[in-house]
Every structure is written in structure tokens, then in C-alpha cells.
Amino acid sequence: MKVVIKEDAAGVARYGADLFRDQLQRKPDSVLGLATGSTPFSLYRLLIESNQRGEISFARATSFNLDEYMDLPPEHPQSYWHFMQKHLFAHIDIDPARTHVPPGNAVDPISACNDYERAIQAAGGIDIQLLGIGRNGHIGFNEPTSCLTSRTRVKTLTRETIDDNARFFAAGEPQPHLSITMGIGTIMEARLVVLLATGESKASAIKAMVEGPVSAWCPASALQMHPATVVIVDRAAAGALSDPDFFLHIEAENQALLARLKARSHA
């Protein structure tokens, strides 16, 4: 697990966007695992700008979103399908037929989950998976006690997650208590995982994820076992780590090594 500490949220988004930009430039037909939320929103704005400048294209890419609320129609303003249309898909050259969001309003959600897993496999698996993290350590909607080998499935939301998301729903408006989410096992099969976190409210979850132990009580801690995970946090989110300066030192050394290798390749 690589931990990168940036000064602020803007730096977190830039670093993450660079990884997605590099992925698309290296492999234009990449399979992208996408997420929703305020930090991904900032990353998406940077990718939109890159696309509009002609630096990257999504024309051959395929996307799969992490999760979706149950029982919300796609056009509902709080659905994750709506979020993706509004904040990314409508502004880039991606083929709508190649974008996938779990069908939260499926008549048979169990079958829909199985179909989603098969679609990911048929696409060749996810090349780069974007994640956020909940205050309780959830990734996707894999709440604490989730099986660390789980697949795409229906998941009950914890009271904490429901309360955290209540601000997005109008007073008295029914709020979903169930979701469809990629499982932790599904996420772990992505070739590269990129997790973003900002703010002091995420500090405890970041500490539990990075420093362990690996436990179903902190689902994100399973990423310690992933061969290629990059955790990008701002200073506030890194605030509970035992030795954040060590991670800053590692990243500085990594960047120096990359600079030397790049210089040699141009010599």
C-alpha cells in the first residue's frame, strides 16, 4: 500500500487525476472503476478538462460504478447514476452504452448483482478502481462486518452511513436503507486501486485502514493485501497516522527515483 500525503484536497484530486490520465494514455480501452462523492467530483473536473484539451479520450473506455442506492430511479437527483451523468459522463466523449451503474431499481436485485459481476468479467476486469472511504472504514457500501471476499450484492446501510447521507435528502423524503455495491472481493481484483480521502473526519478510518489490523470491522483494511493500492490523503486525513512524516519521506524518495529513471531513459 502506497500512502501519498498532499497539502490539501486540491492536491489529492490532482494526484489521483494524474493516475487516471496516465492509465488512459497508456491504455485507451481501459476499464475504469468509478465512485461518487465530493473528492471524486474534484478529480472528475480535472479529467473533463483533460478530455476537452484533447489530452485523453474516453471513447474506447468502459466504466463500472461501485454502488447505487436501492429503490431510487436513475433520474432521482440523489441516485449515483444521476451524479455520474451530471458530473462526468455528460461532459466527456464516453459511449453511454459502455457506462455501467448498478441498477438500484432492478425488479430482481439479486440477479442484477450477479449480472453486474459477469459484465465486469466480460469486460476483462477493472484496470483502475477509484474509491473513497467512509468514517467507519467502508469502501463502496461494504459496511463494517462485510465479508472481505464478498462479491457484488445487496447491502444494508449502517445507521451512521444513513445519517451521514441524510443531508442530501429533503426533510421528510424517504431515504434508502439498502444499496447494491461491488463486494470487497470484486474491488480487490482491480489491477490498480486509488483511494482518496480528505478532512479530519476521515483520519481515524485512514489510520485503521493503513495501520491495521486487517479486519471486517474496517473493510478498507483489506487493501493492505492488495498488490497495487495508492492511498492519497491530505494533511488532515493523515493526522491520526503514527508517523506521517515517514510516508512523506517515502514519496519524496520515490519521486526522486522516478526522476532519475526518466533522465536515464532520455539520455
> Which residues are designated catalytic?
67, 136, 138, 143
Q: What is the rounded CA–CA span in Å between residue 10 and residue 200?
A: 15
Quick one: cell of 11?
492536491
Quick one: cell of 181?
455495491
Q: What is the three-class DSSP state of 248?
A: helix
Q: In the block, which residue shows the cell 492536491?
A: 11
Cis omega (within 30 of 0) for bond into 213: yes
Q: Which residues of 59-70 are buried (b: 16+ CB within 10 A; e: fewer)?
A: eebbbbbbbbbb
Q: In the block, which residue shows the cell 465530493?
A: 38
C-alpha distance from residue 29 to each of 19, 47, 111, 128, 165 (Å): 15, 16, 27, 12, 34
CA 66 from centre of chain: 7
